[in-house]
Amino acid sequence: MYLNLIQIAESFGVSEKVVEGWIRNEGMPHTPDRGRILFDRALVTEWAATRGLAAQAGFLAPATSALTTHLRLGALLRAGGIWRDVPASEVPDRFEQIVNALPGATPAVRQLLGQRLRAPGGVVLAPVGGGFALPHPSARITLGRDSGMVALLLLRDPLPMADAPVDGVPVVRLFFFIAPSPRAHLDLLGRLGRSLSRGPLRERVTQGASDEAILEAADAGDAAATVPPNPGVKP
């Protein structure tokens, strides 16, 4: 789906001039079309995630999609687990441990993923504000419908980053995810971005809730995402 300049500016809550600056200076993906500029929703979402704008980019992703019933955050988070009191220096090791237990993947695929994550630039950190980030593999992969996971890492100390988060809050909470396909990757990125911009999942993680309470919040988000629209209510 394509959006125009005004729609993109409104989605991010900035002026059209700011978006034009992103095009000139930040390589924001766009398509010239007979004197106007169009933006592919999926490409802009991915571009925003690599620049600390994933929370805003979450609003660009459709609230529902054909993948919604498959990508259930509660199940994915149970597969990846909740890791507490993780030293920032040990985050790469934890990523590798998580990948080694990736469901629906062969040992060879897990080994390849681990190698890619260890390579320079193998992980996109994608801070989203409030001390949260959405690290994920920089290379898109296709694992199959029954694979994929989300892991929550609660850090003991702030994660060192080359560029400071845009809101200045040190990153200490990581939702590390691996999606089963490139298409599912964008869908999951949008859902996590929306969940961490507001809502019970963000609140419970921030408040230091128990694993059970965090998983309940993820399940509640899944249930809300799959509720069919009320035909008697106009959008």
More confident residue, 79 or 165: 79
Instruction: Give me the chain's average pLDDT, please.
Output: 83
Per-residue DSSP letter, 157: S
Judged against a pLDDT cut of 70, whether residue 160 lies above it is answered with yes
- 181 and 105 in one domain? yes
pLDDT, tens only, 80-90: 999 999 999 99
**Are both 33 and 128 inside the same structural domain?**
no
* pLDDT bucket at 56, cuts 50 / 70 / 90: low
Same-domain pairing of 128 and 39: no
pLDDT band at 97 (very low <50, low <70, confident <90, very high): very high
pLDDT at 208 exceeding the cut of 90: yes
Tell me the pLDDT band of 218, cut-offs 50, 70 and 90. very high
**Is residue 56 situated within a structural domain?**
no
Decide if 63 is inside a domain: no
For residue 61, being part of any structural domain is answered with no
Whether 108 and 41 share a structural domain: no
Q: Between the ranges 13-17, 112-116, 227-231, where is the mean pLDDT highest?
A: 112-116
Asked whether 22 and 50 are in contact (CB, 8 A), the reply is no
Check whether residue 9 and residue 87 sit in a common domain. no
One domain for residues 91 and 187 = yes
pLDDT of residue 92: 94
Tell me if the pTM is above 0.85. Answer: no
| pLDDT attached to residue 3 | 81
Residues 126 and 14 in one domain: no
Place of tokens 């296709």: 142
Average pLDDT over every residue of 144-159: 91
What is the model's pLDDT at position 234?
45
With 60 as the cut, is the pLDDT of residue 168 above it? yes
The whole domain housing 179 covers: 73-225
Q: What is the pLDDT of residue 76?
A: 94
Q: Does position 51 have pLDDT exceeding 80, yes or no?
A: no
State how far the Cα of 31 lies from the Cα of 20, in Å rounded to an integer: 13
Say yes or no: 86 and 128 in one domain: yes
* Mean pLDDT within 154-179: 90
pLDDT of 67 > 50? The answer is no
- Residue 163, pLDDT > 80, answer no
Average pLDDT rounded to a whole number, residues 62-79: 71
Q: What is the CATH number of the domain that holds 215?
A: 3.40.930.10
Residue 60 lies in a domain: no
pLDDT on residue 60: 61
In a domain, 55, yes or no: no
Same domain, 198 and 166: yes
pLDDT band at 175 (very low <50, low <70, confident <90, very high): very high
Q: What is the mean pLDDT of residues 170-194?
A: 87
Answer yes or no: do 43 and 109 share one domain.
Answer: no
Report percent pLDDT > 90 for the chain: 37
Q: How many domains does the chain have?
A: 2
Same domain, 45 and 100: no
Please indicate, yes or no, whether residues 129 and 29 belong to a single structural domain of this protein: no
Is residue 208 in some structural domain? yes
Edge-to-edge order in the sheet of strand 31-33: 2-4, 36-40, 31-33
Question: DSSP letters along 105-167, please?
Answer: --HHHHHHHHHHHHSTT-EE--EEETTEE--EESS-----TT--EEEEEEESSPPP-SS--TT
